[in-house]
Amino acid sequence: MTRAAALVRSCHPVPTAGVTLLATVLAAVVGQSAGRTTLVAAAVLTGQLSIGWSNDAIDAERDARTARADKPVATGTVPRSVVAVAAGVALAATIALSLAVGVLAGAAHLLFVACGWAYNLGLKATAVSFAPYAVGFAALPSFVVLARPGAPAPPWWLAGAGGLLGIGAHLVNVLPDLDDDRATGIRGWPHRLGRRRSTVTVAAALGTASLLLVLAPPGSPNAGALGGLALALAAAAGVAWLGFRRPASGRVLLVGVIAVALIDIGLLVTGASRLR
């Protein structure tokens, strides 16, 4: 693997691309111009790069102790110093791009990025490890709405659903690594809950987000949104039931959680489009 390829892998490319794509789509559906949508996308991309790279730089020793073959810094494919510098450069770009969108909007996005850095710097090992995800993902759709002309206030339901999706993302992200985390002294909120209660909590958070995204926006939901809500609630109930019956995480549970999350993302986009 070349150093450049290793650097790309170190940025956590899948969540980086996913969050950037989500923000870009939200900006487009709420009526942003092509130029503003591009600026929003650039700010979110650099912010996610800074969070991903800082994570690998900060966790390099811990990842090496647990033999994380998926972490290029831990395997020595790319130096820790290179990843740390990349994180700093991306953060500087994020600050400039965020404020270029607008002061209020930029502050909301920088709050999102600050939450990611705070998680990496130590909150992940505390009982409130969910807080950076909850606050950060509430701030992300708020950033997109505030970026509109006149910086209109984001609706409560959009921020609330974003926060619930963030809690779900935190639990899903941590569950596969519970044992490795415990071995290196990490005891965040999911570790204290355990697999069974964490899985049920994921289902509850995503199911509640589904209800908010369909029933809280102004106007009556269409048949597609109601159908998506029914599917999301059914899948969430299935995940909760399986999680309660089987404390150990399995492929079926993961597929179910991903299904609910994808439906919720679709509902998030649909709900945001009603703000135009």
Q: 1-154: CATH homologous superfamily?
A: UbiA prenyltransferase (1.10.357.140)
pLDDT tens per residue across span 172-227: 888 777 777 777 778 899 889 888 888 889 899 999 999 999 999 888 888 888 99
Region label for 150, one of left (φ > 0), alpha (ψ between -120 and 50) or beta (otherwise): left
Whole-number pLDDT of residue 1: 57
| Residue in 166, 266, 160, 170 with CA at minimum distance from that of residue 221 | 266
Q: Tell me: pLDDT of 64 over 50.
A: yes
| Ranges 40-49, 112-121, 198-207: which has the least confidence | 198-207
User: Helix crossing, 34-58 with 80-101: angle to 10°?
Assistant: 150
DSSP-assigned letters across all residues of the chain? --HHHHHHHHT-HHHHHHHHHHHHHHHHHTT--HHHHHHHHHHHHHHHHHHHHHHHHHTHHHHHHTT-TT-HHHHTSS-HHHHHHHHHHHHHHHHHHHHHH-HHHHHHHHHHHHHHHHHHHTGGGSTTTHHHHHHHHHHHHHHHHHTSTT-PPPPHHHHHHHHHHHHHHHHHHHGGGHHHHHHTT---HHHHHHHHHHHHHHHHHHHHHHHHHHHSSSS---HHHHHHHHHHHHHHHHHHHHHHH--S--HHHHHHHHHHHHHHHHHHHHHHHTT-
Calculate the average pLDDT of the chain. Answer: 89
pLDDT tens per residue across span 32-43: 999 999 999 999
What is the rounded average pLDDT of the residues 136-145?
A: 96
What are the residues whose beta carbons fall under 8 Å from the beta carbon of 210, sequence distance 6 or more? 228, 229, 232, 233, 236, 260, 263, 264, 267
Whole-number pLDDT of residue 252: 64
Q: Using alpha carbons, list the distances in angstroms from residue 215 to 167, 171, 200, 212, 221.
A: 20, 25, 23, 5, 7
Stronger pLDDT, 27 or 261, i.e. the higher one: 27
Q: Supply the pTM of this predicted model.
A: 0.90
Q: How far apart are alpha carbons 172 and 214 in whole angstroms?
A: 23
Q: Tell me: pLDDT of 248 over 60.
A: no
**Percent of the chain, pLDDT > 70?**
96
Whole-number pLDDT of residue 246: 61
What is the rounded average pLDDT of the residues 99-114?
A: 97
Q: Do 51 and 136 form a contact (C-beta atoms < 8 A)?
A: no
Residue ranges per structural domain of the chain: 1-154, 171-276
Whole-number pLDDT of residue 251: 61
